[in-house]
Amino acid sequence: MRTCLRFLVTILLFCASAAAARADGGTLRLSEHQGGYRISVFTSPTPWRAGPVDVSVLVQDAITGDPRADVAVTITLSSLDQPDTSFVETATAGSATNRLFQAAEFELPRAGRWWIGVAVRGPLGAEACGFELLASEALPSWLRLSRWIGWPAGVILLFAIHQVLVRRHGRSSGPGPWVGA
């Protein structure tokens, strides 16, 4: 019975943490050499969708592979479906989950095709790259909040399982050696 409880707890913890897990900036979308740099771009969430989004950039020296912290990174998001919609942010290390990255956060207003452009300025020159990405519809607000609303249900479920196991164990083992002595 303890094995069953351990299995249920493991599954519950895995499911609760899987949605919250973010690898250093999200999903790798682009990695290419531009001039003296290797520019790698990561996006989060996965799948890419309308709502709050994060674009993280890792800039490395193209020859040595060493991270370049001495560069300025500008990220542009432009809607390909509505050309008048565009956002520009300067990426910072403070906004990134990994301090080797520079990141910027955006509020993507709608689903559709988006162009993500990255401009890098530093000692090895100025370079730019970009790619197209399709954004899905935004999550409903109740689903975005489900982790915060749902965690008490997990605690209650664990307590209920514990109570069932304690009662079942109490019935099957009989009275202890101290009873009736």
pLDDT 10s digits, 119-130: 999 999 999 999
Q: Which residue has the tokens 């520019």?
A: 39
| C-alpha dist (Å) from residue 47 to 19, 50, 53, 138 | 12, 10, 10, 10
Do residues 129 and 30 lie in contact, with contact meaning Cβ atoms separated by under 8 Å? yes
Q: Which residues contact 120 (CB under 8 A, 6 or more apart)?
A: 34, 37, 39, 57, 59, 71, 72, 73, 126, 127, 128
Does residue 99 sit within a domain?
yes
* Domain residue limits at 154: 2-14+142-173
What band does 11 get if pLDDT is binned at 50, 70 and 90? low
Tell me: do 52 and 120 sit in the same domain. yes
Question: What is the pLDDT at residue 4?
Answer: 54
**Mean pLDDT of the chain, nearest integer:** 84
Q: Are residues 58 and 109 in the same domain?
A: yes
**Which residue in 138, 22, 129 sits closest to 76, CA to CA?**
129
Residues 150, 88 share a domain: no
62 found inside a domain: yes
Q: How many structural domains is the chain composed of?
A: 2
